Structures are given as C-alpha cells and as structure tokens.
C-alpha cells in the first residue's frame, strides 16, 4: 500500500505541474486581490451580512462570477458559517479548480466541520498552488492538526513544524506539535515543544500537564 507520505509528495508534484498553466492567473489569498469592490468594502468594514447579500445577488445575476463566491466564502467564514462557506467554495471549484482562495476556504471550512480527510486534501492543494501565500502558517496548522486527528502523527509533525516556523509565537500551536511528537514516540522533541509553549505562555495548563506526564 502506498503511504500517505508518498501520496502527499506525488500530489504536490502533480499539482505544481497542473497549476503551471493557471499560475499566472492565480490571485493571492488576500482580500486586496478581489476586484469586487462593493462586497469587498462591506467585508473589510465587518459588515458581513451586507457582503453576503451583495455577493448572492451578484451570483444570481452572473453564476460565473468567481470573485463573488470568494467574498461570499470569506464573509460566511467570518460568521462561523462553515457549512455554507464550504458549499459556496465547492460551487466556485467548477469555475476555477486551482484557485488558492477557494482551496483555502474549502480546506479551513472542512477542518472546522471535522471533515479531516477532505480538509487534508484541500489544504495540501492550497500549499501546492500557493506555497508562499499569506495563509500558509494557518494552513500548515490546520493541515497538521487534521493529520494528527486521523492518526498520521509523523506527517502531522512535519506540517505543524512548518506552522511554528512561520508563526513561532503561538503557544497553543507548540502544544499541538508536542502532542503529535509525543504520539509518534518522539519524547525528547515533544518535551522541547511543550517547553517552548511554556516559555511563550507561562502557566499554560496543557503544556504543564504534558511535561508532568512525560516526567513520570
């Protein structure tokens, strides 16, 4: 049986090739990249309900308007409406399969919904087509935590290590990294991750409990 690790590397390689033609069209996963001004202005102001209403009207008038789906997805995510955000992004996939913004919405939404296998696929695709994207640290964390939750501890370690490399000051991410390493049998580097979490946030109970557990 082919391991997930080989599948991951094969997937990334294929996606880099597949995305080559579309790379020039790919828009960074940032609000500034969306030319849809009215809905985007409302989104930036935190008027998510207004942005949702505008984008849905635009989609009704023109179902091929990709940017409307993107702003709709962001606005739904901002309201923790993960199922609706995933549905909106899924519709957008048929318009542009490898759009990084859409893949990010799909990946995070399915992660939040607990659909970890789907989240893993979409988050890997995001990193393949947009490895320097502004969402990469969060995407690596979601990917690593999803891998941890499905029992892929070594691969979770790799993704979570990337997450803390790009965003080293999040103590809870270090705890999750420690959990993955501990489950993988890497006690010493797990202890180091828990200690780093405590250095960042003294008194963090999860890290304290983990260090006490490893000391037994």
CATH (one of 1.10.3210.10, 1.40.20.10, 3.40.50.300, 1.25.40.10) for 134-215: 1.25.40.10
Which pLDDT belongs to residue 216? 78
In angstroms, the CA 99 to CA 113 distance is 21
Q: 7 — phi, psi (to 5°)?
A: -60, -40
In angstroms, the CA 100 to CA 131 distance is 10
Residue that has been written with the tokens 């899924």 in this structure: 90
pLDDT tens digits, 151-171:
999 999 999 999 999 999 999
Contacts of 28-35 with CB under 8 Å at 24 or more apart are 28/100, 28/130, 28/133, 28/134, 29/100, 29/101, 29/104, 29/126, 29/130, 29/133, 29/134, 29/135, 30/134, 31/71, 31/74, 33/101, 34/67, 34/70, 34/71, 34/101, 35/67
Cα distance from N-terminal residue to C-terminal residue, the chain: 37
CB burial readout 95-128, b (16+ within 10 A) else e: ebebbbbbbbbbbbbbbbeebbebbbbbbbbbbb
pTM across the whole model = 0.82
Q: How confident is the model at residue 4 (pLDDT cuts 50, 70, 90)?
A: low
**Residue of 132, 75, 30 lying closest to 88 (CA atoms):** 75
Domain ranges of the chain: 38-132, 134-215
3-state secondary structure labels for all residues of 127-160 = HHHCCCCCCHHHHHHHHHHHHHHCCCHHHHHHHH
pLDDT tens digits, 76-129:
999 999 999 999 999 999 999 999 999 999 999 999 999 999 999 999 999 999
More confident residue, 21 or 120: 120
Which pLDDT belongs to residue 37? 56
Tell me, yes or no, if the two domains 38-132 and 134-215 fold the same way. Answer: yes
Domain made up of 38-132: CATH architecture? Alpha Horseshoe (1.25)
Average pLDDT over residues 49-70: 97
**Residue of 200, 191, 144, 142 lying closest to 172 (CA atoms):** 200
């Amino acid at each position: 049986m082919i391991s997930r690790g080989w599948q991951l590397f094969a997937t990334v390689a294929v996606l880099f090739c597949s995305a080559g033609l579309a790379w020039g069209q790919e828009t960074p996963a940032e609000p500034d990249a969306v030319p849809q001004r009215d809905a985007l202005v409302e989104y930036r102001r935190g008027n998510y309900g207004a942005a949702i209403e505008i984008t849905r009207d635009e989609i009704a008038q023109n179902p091929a308007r990709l940017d409307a789906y993107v702003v709709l997805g962001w606005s739904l995510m901002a309201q923790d409406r993960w199922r609706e955000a995933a549905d909106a992004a899924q519709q957008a996939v048929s318009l542009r399969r490898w759009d990084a913004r859409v893949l990010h919405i799909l990946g995070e939404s399915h992660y939040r919904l607990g659909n970890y296998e789907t989240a893993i696929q979409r988050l890997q695709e995001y990193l393949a087509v947009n490895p320097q994207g502004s969402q990469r640290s969060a995407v690596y964390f979601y990917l690593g935590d999803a891998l941890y939750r499905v029992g892929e501890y070594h691969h979770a370690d790799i993704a979570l290590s990337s997450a803390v490399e790009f965003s080293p000051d999040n103590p809870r991410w270090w705890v999750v990294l420690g959990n993955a390493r501990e489950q993988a049998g890497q006690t010493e580097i797990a202890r180091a991750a828990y200690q780093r979490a405590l250095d960042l946030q003294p008194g963090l109970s999860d890290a304290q409990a983990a260090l006490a557990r490893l000391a037994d």
